[in-house]
Structure 1
């Protein structure tokens, strides 16, 4: 089984899985603790508009989806906080508009859109080495921002009202967190695709919450769980000749189910 590590594409895939796990492990904890899974899913799916725009303009879709996803995150955050539209309604509308724009741009692009399914469902085995550098840069940006605003993010994650009373710029911090979620989504697109990205963002963080009571501990465990699940899913997808993105998510789902009885045993003891 270990002989497959001699292949260059497998080595690249493992590095990509590690980079994605770092981003997901850090930001996913905030998503789970703050209970913003739905808005994160909305950002992920609306970002398809950026992929379509990239095809239309002849750019690398990863480069076009980066500003598009950040813009989507800001708009979604402002609409949900500053308008009378219910948050779930705003998310649904922007989700649909983003997907519709992506489909329209792809339809307007002459010829066939290559690798489109990769961006929707992921394929970690086909990630080009250049994308690794972009993923690493985005990881560094996420780490730096979380380090600089760690205390503020903790405050708004657990008690927004107290944060406002304490004169923290809650709205700006929330928008910054949503932008970091957008960056994380860009990191994960080539791993599991936009359709499955929310699972990679939430499952490892949800499991880590059962074994740690503080955010730093949760982040470390979430990174570890994400790395193990991603590499295991990667190996299984190669050996069984099945899609890598869906295999990784199924492995994570099985891991989540298996951790439930373990959690109960720890609670009982």
Structure 2
């Protein structure tokens, strides 16, 4: 018991771990809340597209020795806005438009990177995350941005759900579908860019999607799904950092592995929608009823 308590408290004595835990917890909560609407809309691909569309902005900022996160944010928001506008054409499905811009943005990023002779630690940290290197200013910036994003999503939750479930009905009801699309895309982009320091460009989609997908297996109610997704995101991020600290592993990758383990356990053991519950239900359906003859 003493060893366990020492293991739990040891990282909190280190200032850099305190900052990492704070950022990981905030990012986990925000990604959980925003990810609910991404999962409900079935637009997981947009997270991958935006994460990769930030790549050319970062590469361009790197080439001109600018701020990498600002470059990534500018490129990501630009791509998100273009996707929202082009997706209004009813002859094109949303995932088709996302695929076009996703491929273009990533290809452009590769071209820009190829013009440089070497990669630096800063660019590598964008790709793979560097949560252990955040400073106090990063913590406050992430907290402020996260609070704004969660507030926007919660204020517009009913409209976002309506558009996510049935765009045509929402349009017929007079909802500003294009503006809501733009809002959601920009929120998703800001969430992804905010999360880059925690897990990096390559793994950020898992932080956005996996907690919400795990919560989706446990409940049909929006508020419960939001609470569970944020809890999974927060706890999974903190647990991943503990695993990283204890075994000297990559922090971002450890967070993603832990979140995926939560998802796998839930997929197996969820009371109503888990594999075990479905197998029991099928076994019960195949069992013939026993008729007791009357006396």
TM-score, with structure 1 as normaliser: 0.92
Distance 1:150 1:138 in 2: 18
Cα distance in structure 2, aligned partners of 1:219 and 1:147: 10
Change (3 A) 1:165 1:89: closer
For the residues of structure 1 that align with 2:165 and 2:118, how far apart are their CA atoms? 49
1:1-269 aligned at under 5 Å gives the runs 1=7, 2-82=9-89, 84-108=91-115, 112-263=119-270, 264=274
Q: Measured at CA, do residues 111 and 198 of structure 1 come closer, stay the same or move farther in structure 2, by a change above 3 Å? A: closer
- 2:54 touches 2:71 (CA, 8 Å); kept in 1? no
- In 2, Cα distance between equivalents of 1:151 and 1:229: 27
What CA distance in whole angstroms lies between the structure 2 residues aligned with 1:235 and 1:175? 37
Q: Which runs of 4+ in 1 moved over 6 A?
A: 266-269
Q: 1:213: how far off?
A: 2.2
Matches of 1:15 and 1:108 in 2, distance apart?
A: 37
> Aligned-pair RMSD on alpha carbons?
2.1
3-state DSSP class of the match of 1:63? helix
Moved more, 175-184 or 109-118: 109-118
Contact 1:55 1:109 in 2 (8 A): no
Contact 2:200 2:252 in 1 (8 A): yes
Is 2:62–2:123's contact at 8 Å kept on the other side of the alignment? no
SS in 2 for 1:47: helix
Which runs of no fewer than 5 residues in structure 2 stay unpaired?
A: 1-6, 282-295
In the TM superposition, residue 168 of structure 1 has moved relative to its aligned partner by 0.6
Name the TM-score, length of structure 2 as normaliser. Answer: 0.84
Contact 2:54–2:74 (CA under 8 A) maintained in structure 1? no
Q: Deviations over 1:183-234 (max 9, x none)?
A: 1101111111111111111111011112232222211111111111111111
Note the alpha carbon deviations across 1:140-181, whole angstroms, 9 max, x for none: 221221233222112112221211110111122112101100
The structure that is helix-richer by fraction is: 1
Structure with larger Rg: 2
Distance 2:39 2:163 in 1: 13
After TM superposition, the structure 1 stretch with the greater mean CA deviation from structure 2, 54-63 or 85-94, is 85-94
Alpha-carbon shift at residue 61 of structure 1 (Å):
0.8
Deviation of the 1:56 alpha carbon: 2.1
